[in-house]
Chains A and B, each alone.
Chain A
């Protein structure tokens, strides 16, 4: 029997498909009463993880729990957790209603429940139409209706915004928020933070199958993700000292240095110690999109030469440093900043050239 807590717990989850490690040592929990975003670029292991939570994929190691139980031990699981995984699971010859009534039967629910969920997702008028003629948006709604059949306390959605028009996305956001506001749990994945920014309260960010951030969205947005742009008289000397202090820096094309994960006060101190003159100094806060990109980039950019002034002392900026709770410092930040934007990729490699022209 489950504990009714509405909590999803993922512990040490691993999944390999042959040589491909899709999910690597994931740990996170999702609490009721809020919308949790599960974010990461394509191929970062979101779908694999969600399917493991739902008992559809067997983990290579580790475990996932829903209401304190592995999915496979939930009696009548659809009354505990509903899932929208893809918008494909319909027999094209069935109508929306006959599709749903297969599952009301399986769940021992009254057949009116089928019409109730159709109304909930705004598909009542299409109840007697064959699903084969449904648009992608209608399929997403029908998939959501199917997930809601058992009136579950937990809702898991994998990229539900795909195929929805802006109006549909707005509607979905409102729906998820009101669902969570009744004390229920929502875990929703997306490869676009922007898409979820106004919907989610907490985020779990994955990159290449590893957790790179787990906590509140506000904490993620908060100040510790600033970087400093500075122009100094002897950048090389400052960089040497920064490296000694375990920090990294990168040259911008105009000769300025970018120092991630710190603030101007600290850099000014270090400049003084290095004996260089500060000509210009500026704190910069990243917007969420940049933070997200920075946290998750590198997945597909391994082959692009990037040019930190010196190799960062912590060679693997993507190593899992565990996960931090809300308010904690997101692991991985403050390292490997050279990947912040595509533009910097392009210019990062001619570091000394840029420097020479401006010093």
Chain B
């Protein structure tokens, strides 16, 4: 198994996919951090908060995470479909038994790469925040670590979802279309269709919503409690909802609840990919 994981690392770092997808993560994270911080510095906000320093960095890290996890799921999916496209999957399966061992090795290796992605995201969005905001926009260190840690979790889980999905569909183009189509189009439509129905709570359980809740349900309550201090119990639900809609999560939903839901999705995709891989004819 060690050998298989080492093999996966070699496949990763001798080809370009990992940095081709990490590059936009770095850039977008930086821009999200910078732009978000600048937003917190506008006159309107400063006036509303009576000049109080806001830990906006926590929110923008959340925003940036939820925007770049798409690259994590693409990474995971293309990691698997790439082997089918390049036909290296034949040799891969000829050198490992059972096939599931290869998938296991990929899960381990790509978890590490996803942690790297999460780290780059946390650092770049914070760097953007520093540039736009200065050092005191991030709250306390434990707060920063918590939001950053939630971001790492989200990034890792998305990568695992991607690996499972890639193992299920095996075709790169199909995988990319499914991922982008779902995240950019379908889930938004599904959520808005659900809002006016008695089952609107279901939206919290959709994959995109659940994953952004992992970070958003940490950062938003943290931000509000920082800003409101003793007045926190009197902060209106609307204020929460406004922030949640921008930075992920939903009012009153615990971050670990989102985490559990999304772990469930990751498990389903990985299990599906596992089964499909074991049965598939490699032609």
Contact = CB atoms under 8 A, between A and B. Distances in A.
Interface in A28-79: 51, 54-58, 71-78
Interface stretch (B8-16, B143-151, B220-228): B8-16
Given A56-B281, A57-B283, A86-B87, A78 B94 contact: yes
A71 B93 CA distance: 11
A76 B2 CA distance: 13
A177 B138 CA distance: 71
Contact of A89 (B4, B87, B96, B283): B87
Given A56-B281, A58-B281, A107-B3, A77 B94 contact: yes
How would you classify the secondary structure of chain B's contact residues: helix, strand, loop or mixed? helix
B14 A89 contact: no
Contacts of B94: 54, 56, 77-78, 81-83
A98 B14 contact: yes
A135 interface: no
Nearest to B10: A102
A331 interface: no
Interface in B5-47: 6-7, 10-11, 14-16
Nearest to B2: A108
Contacts of A94: 14-15
Interface string A311-334: 000000000000000000000000
Interface residues of B, number: 28
A51 B281 CA distance: 9
A190 interface: no
Contacts, number: 89
How would you classify the secondary structure of chain A's contact residues: helix, strand, loop or mixed? loop
B112 interface: no
A104 to B, nearest CB: 8
A134 interface: no
B279 interface: yes
A93 B15 contact: yes
A179 interface: no
B97 A76 contact: yes
A102 B11 CA distance: 6
Given A89-B86, A91-B88, A107-B3, A98 B95 contact: no
A101 B95 CA distance: 12
B229 interface: no
Given A77-B97, A102-B11, A93 B16 contact: yes
B282 A108 contact: no
Contacts of B14: 91, 93-95, 98, 101-102
Contact of A88 (B4, B10, B87, B95): B87
B3 A108 contact: yes
A55 B93 contact: yes
B3 A74 contact: no
B98 interface: yes
Contact of A106 (B3, B15, B16): B3
Can you list the 6 inter-chain pairs with the closest CB atoms, starting with the nearest? A106-B7, A56-B282, A105-B7, A105-B6, A108-B3, A98-B14
